Amino acid sequence: MILIVDFGSQYNQLIARRVRENHVYCQIEPPDISIDAIKALDPEGIILSGGPASIYSKGAPRVDRGIFNLGIPVLGICYGLHYMIDSLDGNVIGSQKREYGFAELLIKKQKGMFAGVSKKTQCWMSHGDSIGKLPSGFTATASTANTSIAAAEDIKRKFYALQFHPEVVHTKEGKKMLANFLFNICRCKKSWSMKSFINDAVEEIRRQVGSEKVILGLSGGVDSSVAAVLLNKAIGKQLTCVFVDNGVLRENEAERVIEMFSKHLRINLRFARSGKIFLKRLKGVTDPEKKRKIIGRTFIEVFDKEAQKIKGVRFLAQGTLYPDLIESRSAFGGPSAVIKSHHNVGGLPKKMNLKLVEPLKHLFKDEVRLLGKELGLADDVVWRQPFPGPGLAVRIIGEVTPRRLAVLRQADTILLEEIRAQHLYYKLWQSFAVLLPIKSVGVMGDQRTYENILAIRAVTSDDAMTADWAQLPHDILARISNRIINEVRGVNRVVYDISSKPPSTIEWE
């Protein structure tokens, strides 16, 4: 494995992704990790990430210097490089000017990190400080017009330092450089795969829960579905999944989950049909945050009640992913503004006095999908578009009523039918309909109509952090619009949302 020390760079998850794409396992750890903990991980190499701090600023993050005595390769990137140079006997000079953006990298020797890399290649810079004096044993291996030492190495001790970011796509041959580090320098083996993960995970789950009972909130989305199947493989009937119908699900959603998990996969499933209570509490509520909070709270209540019916549950399983884990313990992120309070099961373990089982907590989303496939889950589950916890309630702007829900469900079904028919479903990150609380005038069969407006939202994205509106072909948009206006009573106008995230968000509320 490779240890990545997290100095707070916005790119460090990307470093981890790049390593794992090479089938090498890696873990991101905060800089206060002890040297004994590092030894216990027994890494083949260490990558020191970039970060926003300047090495000489107060409170600049540092990791135990003992890493340089372990006899394993160390790669420092940007701030990681500054830390390395400063910890050894070199020095870093602060600069008023930031170098940010593309630069042409001139490579001195096409060896080591740069084996097989072009002599002139594009790299991505983002730094203030730079190297003043190299530590003894180091030689400079590359430069750019603004930075005389853009890369350096000490071959004997296997220390490598890059001022630019090899992990971002703007560094054209960055992947090659990282692969050189992994395989030529650290001598890693390509042993990380979802097949190997399953065996370890099954063993780990069994060790953690013993003969105790585990409960899991199944939403039908990728993460909880994959977690359910993995746990089922590990502990079978000790697992009970709870599916809560909150009354704001898509058409046939509940039936689909029951069919798949209970009938097909034979997983213990409790089905809480609780739509009525959710809708009752949502009555008259129009504020988006209020809606989200009501649904979150009610979910916890219903789930808790279901759990009480199963005697002796000790564990709560969740489909937490690696980015959540990294972000939740980041010492650098700080509290960010609450844009939307996400509905999740965050309040559950404390309330129910349960211990957590999080078998996916070291995986990225794309790895979870591969795992799901490996475990035999259908494409329809593995590649399902995300659906928010508060469901259609945040896609009905204004009050959620049974009538408005019925209108949105019908429109949403038509939209998805068309998107699937055109083989666009898996190409889009999300595609859905939003019902607006605005009426407009129309004409249908010589009659005046005064009905609702429905918005179509379709976006492409890699991670939901940013998203672009999808440039759907006009004939498909026309077909969707025609069908919705003709088939859904209560809608006489369809509009297409052409906003990206940021500054908009994917969901409307």
Binding site for ligand XMP (CB under 6 A): 340, 342-343, 386, 388-390, 430, 464, 501, 505-507
Closer to ligand XMP by CB, 51 or 388: give it: 388
Closest contact distance (angstroms) between CB of 167 and ligand XMP is 24
Minimum distance, C-beta of residue 339 to ligand XMP, in the bound complex (Å): 6
Q: Active site includes 167?
A: yes
CA distance linking residue 273 with residue 429, whole number of Å: 29
188 is catalytic: no
Work out whether the CA dihedral 428, 429, 432, 436 comes out positive or negative.
negative
- Contact between 507 and 396 (Cβ < 8 Å): no
Identify the bridge partners of residue 269 per DSSP, sorted by sequence position: 241
Contact 164, 105 (CB under 8 A): yes
Which residue lies nearer to ligand XMP by CB, 338 or 443? 338
Nearest distance from residue 472's CB to ligand XMP, in Å?
18
Q: Which is nearer to ligand XMP, 48 or 506 (CB)?
A: 506
Q: Residue 161 forms beta bridges with which residues?
A: 76, 152
Please enumerate in sequence order all residues whose Cβ is within 8 A of that of 145, keeping only pairs 6 or more positions apart, or say none.
103, 104
What tokens were used for 445?
Answer: 């069969």
Cβ 506 to ligand XMP shortest distance, Å = 3
Alpha carbons 42 and 44: distance in angstroms, whole number: 7
Single-letter amino acid code for the residue at 81: L
Pick the closer one to ligand XMP by CB: 194 or 464: 464
Among candidate residues 167, 306, 418, 451, the one labeled active-site is 167
Active site residue 78: yes
Under 8 Å between Cβ of 202 and 42: no
Chain centroid to CA 284: how far?
Answer: 34
User: How near is the Cβ of 456 to ligand XMP at its closest, in Å?
Assistant: 15
Q: Which of 73, 69, 74, 91 is nearest to 82 (CA)?
A: 91
Query: Closer to ligand XMP at the Cβ: 234 or 254?
Result: 254
Q: Which is nearer to ligand XMP, 258 or 428 (CB)?
A: 428
Q: Smaller CB distance to ligand XMP: residue 262 or 461?
A: 461
CB of 316 to ligand XMP, least distance (A): 17
Tokens of 361: 């907590």
HEC readout, 421-478:
HCCCCCCCCEEEEEEEEEEEEEEECCEEEEEEEEEEEEEECCCCCCEEECCCCHHHHH
Distance CA 9, CA 18 (A): 15
The single residue of 29, 44, 78, 127 carrying the catalytic annotation is 78
Q: Which of 165, 186, 253, 367 is catalytic?
A: 165
CB of 342 to ligand XMP, least distance (A): 4
Reduce the secondary structure of 58-97 to three states and give it as a string: CCCCCCCHHHHHCCCCEEEECHHHHHHHHHCCCEEECCCC
Kindly give, in sequence order, each residue whose CB lies less than 8 Å from that of residue 221, ignoring residues fewer than 6 positions away: 319, 384, 386, 387
Instruction: Indicate which residues carry an active-site annotation.
Output: 78, 165, 167
